[in-house]
Each structure stands twice: as structure tokens, then as C-alpha cells.
């Protein structure tokens, strides 16, 4: 396990929700920085949760100061310094799809010189990651664009507030088949707060319970 | 068909294809860009044409041409991009062509910002272009409703030969929601006797035109358009109504703002207040009929928008002096919180507003 975590995936897969939750949990035991590398999507980005994250002890590096809400493809230079640090936990929340992962490739030279964990978040309910073949093709394209290697799968199969245990099991089965074909292990199975975790215990290991920080309660 | 989780912009594209749209002309602008992006991948797969125009003006005129030759065509943009299309929209209305236009609204005026807004209500319902014309304007509040409106809009547009404009704030384009694509809608257009499909040597040529130099003839065009608009006003008003017959306060809000208002209404009801909702689904024709059902003794109507107050004009016309009207809005890409709306509701109930 490395303390440099890179989280990639399809947009809408649940990447940012995972990153925000992981950062908050991580900050309880270790200084943690969350880097919002999403320059593809202007909405639902982790930088929007900066106030909450700061209050929980997470440092956030997002877009350039003053234009956080823009879709400017600009990233602060302070990101480079985070790659060297060895004691803090650093989480990269990468933009959606291979296009989003392209922003990561400018750091690939530095990152590949050290150990890192790179995850792909898979939501079996998203149209383009429903079969093992589609998911593997996503993995290939993200690896090619980022010039880095994925070493963990995150099953984040959800239907927002309509998520049931069967969704998570469906995603687990999909990820198991991807794991078989690629030898990339499942690192986490994401479980929303309103599900009874008992329904999944014994069927699925490595459950990761999340709160819904990114979705306002009226949505 | 099983539910899928889609992003609004993608879902609009898929719904249009399911409705038989095979021509999309557009130009990128945040927050609607995923829609042309989706069409650029999907349309070639179904034998259609995606074309990135040189500008928004180019795109709307390509729609004019495609629609004139009888095709189901679509364009989309966001606020300042829709402003650029106004000339073409007015021409399309004059030429009596059907088409579907999508505006994923961002904050304005000018280039504004890229966060969600509802400040294009005037542009949508009062006409940004010249002349006496109207558009059928829909404002969905969920992705399921969005795809159902998109799927029905091509047929509706052809029925009246009036363009349909679908207005969603930035969030409708950007957010994810579960969608159930049901039975595919009707893809075949009815016979278009007016389209420029070739005479085959057996009829006079069809001419698609918006220039009438003879004032008497132009007046006839205006009268004929007006007949159609009156028919639409009689037939197509749509709104969701919740508890307005016995409400003390009625909130009027459309699109995503109505979702936030619903949360505020639920919380107010939990505290014992009687609060209802009118959610216009058509912005034009405006659902005036819904207001006739409001409790005559209600203390007031609260209009909530993500703008400095545009739909409030229609709310005042609808209220016609019968109830006190007030307004609450956030602008520039700021989204109101349920608590802010609840405070306004309580102010009206307590007679402080």
C-alpha cells in the first residue's frame, strides 16, 4: 500500500465521492492532501467541498485561486511538490475518462519514479462500463493516456439514492471478471450510507462505507 | 429495459436519437459540450450526421436547411451561444419549420459564467429574435422527464411546425440520474408536404422562405402563425401541481429550482405550514390554468428562480392581482438552499413579506 493514491474512472462512476470520503477517513490517522485534477468537468468536483474537507483536516489543491469554478485547463504548480512528499497521504482525484486522465500524464515521469496505487472506479450501471470487455478497454485507454499503471479496482456500482445491495453485487461480479482477466485486484467495494451493510457481509469483502458529500440532499 | 445511470447531456442525445433525430449541428460551450460530444460518437453509428459548425450561427442555419428538406434535426448550446442563434430561430419560425433546440443555461449576461442559472427565461419566452413569434418551451426538472420531453418534442414540433426549445439549467446537463428508457418513441415523421424533397416533375417546387415584401401577405403569415400559437396555448400547457387548493403559500418554480423548492416545502409542511407548488413544465405556453386552482384565500405566491426575477412577470400576469406575489432568487451560478426558500415562505405566512 502506497500513500500516493490516484483515482481514475468514467465520469459519474463515483470517483469524487470516493476520494472525498477516503480523504476524510485518511485525515483521521495521517496528514492528507486531496488534489482535484479534474479539468474536464466544471460541476460536481471535489474542490467544491474545500470548506468541509478543510474542517476535517484535509488540505485541498484544486484549480487556480480565484477561478476554481471555471473550466480553465490550468493546474497549480504546487501539485509537483506533493508528489515528492513521503509521509503525507496524497490523493489525486483525476477527471473522468481517458481525456480526464490526460492531465495526469504531465506528472507521470515523477510519479513512476516512486511507488503509487492507481485505482479505476467502475460503476456497472454506467452505459459504457457494463461488461468486462468495456471495463478493460477503459482501463487500457486510461493507462495509455496517463502513462501510468492501474493496480486496483474500485467497485462503485450505484444508482444514486436508488442503490440496492444487488447493484453492489452486480458490480462485484463484473469486477471479479475484470480481475480474472487482468490480474488487477479489487481494492474496495463502495457501499452508500443508507444500505444495510449486513446484506453484503459474507458475500463481499473490502467494503468501504461512504457518506454522500457531493450530492445535495434535495437532489 | 433496465435503468441506466446517465449524465444529462448524454441522455438528451440518446433520447433525440431514439426519436429519430439523425442530424445534429453544434458548437462546443460549457456546460452543454457533452451533448455534441455524445452525438459525434453516436450519430455515425446510426447512419446520421454530426457536424461541428464554424459557429452557433452556422449551426442553426444548418438546422434550417436540414429541417427544410424534411429531416429531424437538432442543435444545442448554452446561453450566449443561444443568443447567437436568435436570427436563425426567427427565420425558422417564419419559414414554419420544425426543429429541436436545447439550451443548457449558464449565468449571464454576456459571457457570464459556467455554473447553472435560469436567467434565459426572457430569451426563451419573449423571443431573442425579431418579429411576432413563439417557441414551444419546455423546462424539465429531472433526467427522466428530460428524456421524455426530448423524445416527444420532434413529433410535437412537426405537428405545429413550431420549433421546440428545451431549457435546462447547467445542472440538468451535468448531473447524473437513473433513467429508464421505455418503449422507443415514433421515429417516422408524418408526410411533410412542404419539404424540399424534389418535385419528381409532378408538383410545383416547395419554397422555404422568410422574406415577404408584400405587407398584406406578411400579415397573413403573422395571422396564420398566431392561429397556431393560440392552438398551442389551448392544448399544450403543462405543469406539476402539489397541494395548491388549500395552501397558505404557493411556491412557483421550474427546473432544478423546483426540486430545491420541494425540499423547502416538505420541511415547511413538517412544521405545520400549508405550502403548495406549481412547477411549470412548459414555460411557453405558460400554465396559466394551474393558477385558477389556487386557494382564493392564500396569503401569497412566492416565485423562486435562479435569476434576478424573470418568470415573476408571468406569475404576476397569472395572479392578476388576486394574490400578493413575491420573489426570491439567486443569480450568477449560485444555487439557492432549501433553507433560504423556507425562510421566505415563513415570512409570507407571518405577514412579514
Q: A165: pLDDT confidence band, cut at 50, 70 and 90?
A: very high
Q: Which residue has the cell 402539489?
A: B242
Query: Which chain B residues have a beta carbon less than 8 Å from that of A38?
Result: none
pLDDT at B147 over 90: yes
Over residues B329-335, mean pLDDT: 96
Give chain A's mean pLDDT: 92
Q: A70: pLDDT confidence band, cut at 50, 70 and 90?
A: confident
pLDDT at B80: 98
Segment B228-238, tens digit of pLDDT: 999 999 999 99
Over residues B102-120, mean pLDDT: 96
Residues of A with CB under 8 A from a CB of B: 11-12, 41-44, 69-71, 123, 125-127, 158-160, 162, 217-219
Distance CA B284, CA B39 (A): 27
Q: Give Dmax over CA atoms of chain B in angstroms.
A: 74
User: Which of the pair, B316 or A219, is modelled with greater confidence?
Assistant: B316
**In this predicted structure, which of A44-48, A162-166, A203-207, B122-126 has the lowest mean pLDDT?**
A44-48
| B23-26, strands of its sheet edge to edge | B49-52, B23-26, B73-77, B100-105, B164-169, B136-138, B282-284
First-to-last CA distance in chain A? Answer: 35
Contact B6 A127 (CB under 8 A): yes
* For A157, nearest residue in chain B (alpha carbons): B5
pLDDT at B352: 85
Distance CA A14, CA B156 (A): 37
pLDDT at A69: 73
* Inter-chain CB pairs, A–B, below 8 Å: 58
Question: Which residues does B121 contact at the CB level (< 8 Å), separation at least 6?
Answer: B167, B283, B305, B307, B310, B311
Query: Which chain A residues have a beta carbon less than 8 Å from that of B113?
Result: 69-70
* For B33, nearest residue in chain A (alpha carbons): A41
pLDDT at A193 over 80: yes
pLDDT at A64 over 80: no
pLDDT at B324: 97
Contact B338 A160 (CB under 8 A): no
B4 three-class SS:
strand
Q: B1: pLDDT confidence band, cut at 50, 70 and 90?
A: low
Segment B183-242, tens digit of pLDDT: 877 777 788 999 999 999 999 999 999 999 999 999 999 999 999 999 999 999 999 999
ipTM above 0.90, yes or no: no
* Least CB–CB distance from B174: residue in A43, A127, A217: A43
Distance CA B18, CA B148 (A): 11
Q: Which of B3, B19, B286, B281 is nearest to B147 (CA)?
A: B19
Give chain B's mean pLDDT: 96
Over residues B293-302, mean pLDDT: 98
Output the nine-digit C-alpha cell for A105.
500524464
pLDDT at A87 over 90: no
pLDDT at A197: 87
Segment B53-100, tens digit of pLDDT: 999 999 999 999 999 999 999 999 999 999 999 999 999 999 999 999
State the pTM of this model.
0.94
* Least CB–CB distance from A125: residue in B4, B7, B116: B4
pLDDT at A85: 67
**Residue A159, min C-alpha distance to chain B (Å):** 6
- By the CB < 8 Å criterion, does B241 face chain A? no
Output the nine-digit C-alpha cell for B198.
424534389
**In this predicted structure, which of A86-90, B47-51, B331-335 has the lowest mean pLDDT?**
A86-90
- By the CB < 8 Å criterion, does B40 face chain A? no
B7 three-class SS:
strand
* For B179, nearest residue in chain A (alpha carbons): A159
pLDDT at A199: 86
Distance CA B281, CA B125 (A): 13
Q: Which of A122, A211, A125 is nearest to A162 (CA)?
A: A125
Phi-psi region at A9: left, alpha or beta (left = phi > 0; alpha = psi -120 to 50): left
Number of Cβ within 10 Å of residue B332's Cβ equals: 15
* Least CB–CB distance from A218: residue in B10, B176, B260: B260
B137 three-class SS:
strand
- By the CB < 8 Å criterion, does B5 face chain A? yes
pLDDT at A100 over 80: yes
* Least CB–CB distance from B333: residue in A12, A44, A69: A69
Question: Which residues does A187 contact at the CB level (< 8 Å), separation at least 6?
Answer: A117, A119, A152, A153, A154, A206
* C-beta separation of A166 from B11 below 8 A: no
Query: Which chain B residues have a beta carbon less than 8 Å from that of A123?
Result: 5
Is B49 exposed, middle or buried (CB count within 10 Å of its CB: 0-12, 13-18, 19+)?
A: middle
Over residues B293-318, mean pLDDT: 98
Domains in chain B, CATH or no CATH each:
4-187+209-235 (3.40.50.970), 241-349 (3.40.50.920)
* Least CB–CB distance from A162: residue in B116, B178, B259: B178
Contact B174 A218 (CB under 8 A): no
Over residues B18-25, mean pLDDT: 97
Over residues A5-26, mean pLDDT: 94
pLDDT at B317 over 80: yes
List, in sequence order, the alpha helices (H) in chain B: 8-18, 34-45, 56-68, 79-84, 86-94, 121-122, 143-160, 170-174, 215-235, 255-270, 288-291, 312-319, 338-349
Amino acid at each position: 500500500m502506497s500513500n500516493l493514491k490516484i483515482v481514475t474512472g468514467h465520469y459519474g462512476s463515483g470517483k469524487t465521492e470516493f476520494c472525498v470520503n477516503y480523504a476524510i477517513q485518511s485525515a483521521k490517522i495521517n496528514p492528507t492532501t486531496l488534489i482535484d485534477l479534474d479539468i474536464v468537468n466544471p460541476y460536481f468536483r471535489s474542490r467544491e467541498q474545500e470548506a468541509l474537507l478543510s474542517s476535517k483536516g484535509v488540505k485541498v489543491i484544486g484549480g487556480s485561486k480565484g477561478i476554481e469554478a471555471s473550466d480553465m485547463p490550468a493546474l497549480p504548480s504546487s501539485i509537483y511538490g506533493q508528489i515528492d512528499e513521503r509521509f503525507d497521504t496524497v490523493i489525486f482525484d483525476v477527471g473522468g475518462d481517458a481525456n480526464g486522465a490526460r492531465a495526469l500524464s504531465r506528472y507521470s515521469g515523477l510519479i513512476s519514479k516512486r511507488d503509487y496505487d492507481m485505482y479505476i472506479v467502475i460503476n456497472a450501471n454506467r452505459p459504457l462500463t457494463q461488461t468486462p470487455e468495456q471495463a478493460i478497454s477503459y482501463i487500457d485507454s486510461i493507462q495509455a493516456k496517463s502513462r501510468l499503471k492501474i493496480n486496483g479496482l474500485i467497485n462503485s456500482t450505484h444508482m444514486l439514492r436508488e442503490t440496492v445491495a444487488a447493484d453492489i453485487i452486480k458490480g462485484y461480479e463484473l469486477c471479479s471478471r475484470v480481475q480474472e482477466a487482468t490480474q488487477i485486484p479489487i481494492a474496495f467495494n463502495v457501499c452508500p450510507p443508507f444500505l444495510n451493510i449486513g446484506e453484503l457481509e459474507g458475500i463481499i469483502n473490502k467494503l468501504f462505507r461512504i457518506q454522500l458529500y457531493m450530492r445535495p440532499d434535495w437532489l | 429495459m433496465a435503468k441506466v445511470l446517465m449524465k444529462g447531456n448524454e441522455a438528451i442525445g440518446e433520447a433525440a436519437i431514439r426519436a429519430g433525430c439523425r442530424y445534429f449541428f453544434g458548437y462546443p460551450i460549457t456546460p452543454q459540450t457533452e451533448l455534441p460530444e455524445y452525438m459525434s460518437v453516436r450519430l455515425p453509428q446510426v447512419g446520421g450526421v454530426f457536424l461541428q459548425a464554424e459557429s452557433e450561427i452556422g449551426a442553426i442555419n444548418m438546422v434550417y436547411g436540414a429541417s427544410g428538406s424534411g429531416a429531424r434535426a437538432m442543435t444545442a448550446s448554452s446561453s450566449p451561444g443561444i443568443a447567437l442563434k436568435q436570427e436563425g430561430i426567427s427565420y425558422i419560425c417564419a419559414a414554419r419549420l420544425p426543429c429541436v433546440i436545447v439550451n443548457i443555461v449558464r449565468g449571464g449576461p454576456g459571457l457570464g459564467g459556467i455554473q447553472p442559472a435560469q436567467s434565459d427565461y426572457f430569451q426563451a419566452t419573449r423571443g431573442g429574435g425579431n418579429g411576432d413569434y413563439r417557441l414551444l418551451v419546455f423546462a424539465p426538472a429531472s433526467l427522466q422527464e428530460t428524456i421524455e420531453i426530448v423524445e416527444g418534442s420532434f413529433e410535437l414540433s412537426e405537428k405545429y411546425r413550431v420549433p421546440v426549445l428545451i431549457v435546462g439549467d447547467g445542472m440538468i446537463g451535468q448531473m447524473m440520474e437513473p433513467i429508464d428508457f421505455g418503449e422507443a418513441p415514433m421515429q417516422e415523421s408524418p408526410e411533410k408536404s412542404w419539404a424540399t424533397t424534389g418535385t419528381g416533375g409532378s408538383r410545383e417546387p416547395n419554397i422555404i422562405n422568410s422574406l415577404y415584401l408584400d405587407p398584406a401577405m406578411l400579415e397573413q403569415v403573422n395571422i396564420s402563425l398566431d392561429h397556431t400559437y393560440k392552438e398551442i396555448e389551448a392544448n399544450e400547457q403543462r405543469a406539476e401541481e402539489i397541494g395548491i387548493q388549500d395552501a397558505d403559500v404557493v411556491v412557483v418554480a421550474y427546473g432544478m429550482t423546483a426540486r430545491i423548492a420541494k425540499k423547502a416545502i416538505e420541511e415547511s409542511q413538517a412544521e405545520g405550514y400549508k405550502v403548495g407548488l406549481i412547477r411549470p413544465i412548459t414555460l411557453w405556453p405558460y400554465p396559466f390554468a394551474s393558477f385558477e386552482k389556487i386557494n382564493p384565500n392564500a396569503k401569497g405566491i412566492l416565485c423562486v428562480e435562479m435569476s434576478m426575477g424573470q418568470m415573476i412577470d408571468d406569475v404576476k400576469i397569472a395572479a392578476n392581482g388576486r394574490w400578493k406575489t413575491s420573489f426570491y432568487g439567486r443569480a450568477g451560478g449560485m444555487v439557492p438552499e432549501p433553507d433560504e426558500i423556507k425562510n421566505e415562505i415563513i415570512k409570507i405566512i407571518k405577514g412579514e413579506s
